[in-house]
């Protein structure tokens, strides 16, 4: 599955940005970004117990972590980007910021783009979803200075 996710990232890095916005929540983009859902858990309308939700969350987080390891092997350590307000500088951080407080991001200078990765859940009865985003620019917006994963907000990366 991770190979499929990596292939999706590669395709998005090479895909031209459209002149006008396209798509809906599972796959959308605009003049400077693409966002795609890579994976989703079942919904939790019938049972929101930890016995049901916990394994689903762990499975999606496991996919996230494996893909993050693969991307870090290619582009170095991820930057941990805070999505807490007022960090919503663009469509990608606004989308992720609606559902989670943080995303991992990698600069991909050979493409002049950056890649963002996050697990989101819109509401407790809705699925956990693994999303990847590709956006224009040398690094993700939001923080004044990028920081390595695990460093506190406001600390400069190495």
Domain boundaries in the chain?
A: 2-12+33-136
* Contact yes or no for 110/101 (Cβ under 8 A): no
Q: pLDDT tens per residue, the chain (158 residues)?
A: 679 999 999 999 999 999 999 998 899 999 999 999 999 999 999 999 999 999 999 999 999 999 999 999 999 999 999 888 766 678 888 889 888 999 999 999 999 999 999 999 999 999 999 999 999 987 776 543 344 444 433 333 33
Q: Which two tokens stand for residue 29?
A: 């983009």
**Are 111 and 10 a contacting pair, CB within 8 Å?**
no
β-bridge partners, 80: 104
Position 90 scores a pLDDT of 81
- pLDDT value at residue 87: 61
Longest Cα separation, the chain: 46
Query: Could you tell me the pTM of the whole model?
Result: 0.85
| Collapsed DSSP state (helix, strand, coil) of residue 15 | coil
Q: What is the pLDDT of residue 115?
A: 97
What sign has the CA pseudo-torsion 107, 108, 112, 116? negative
Separation between Cα atoms, residue 110 and residue 128, nearest integer Å: 31
């Amino acid at each position: 599955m991770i190979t499929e996710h990596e292939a999706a990232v590669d395709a998005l890095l090479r895909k031209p940005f459209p002149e006008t916005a396209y798509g809906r929540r599972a796959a959308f983009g605009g003049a400077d970004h693409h966002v795609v859902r890579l994976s989703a858990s079942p919904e939790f309308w019938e049972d929101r117990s930890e016995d049901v939700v916990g394994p689903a969350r762990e499975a999606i987080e496991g996919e996230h972590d494996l893909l993050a390891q693969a991307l870090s092997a290619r582009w170095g350590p991820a930057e941990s980007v805070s999505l807490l307000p007022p960090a919503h500088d663009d469509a990608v951080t606004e989308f992720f910021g609606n559902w989670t407080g943080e995303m991992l991001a990698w600069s991909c200078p050979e493409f002049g783009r950056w890649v963002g990765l996050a697990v989101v859940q819109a509401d407790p009865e809705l699925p956990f979803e693994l999303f990847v985003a590709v956006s224009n620019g040398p690094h993700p917006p939001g923080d004044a200075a990028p920081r390595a994963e695990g460093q506190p907000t406001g600390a400069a990366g190495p």
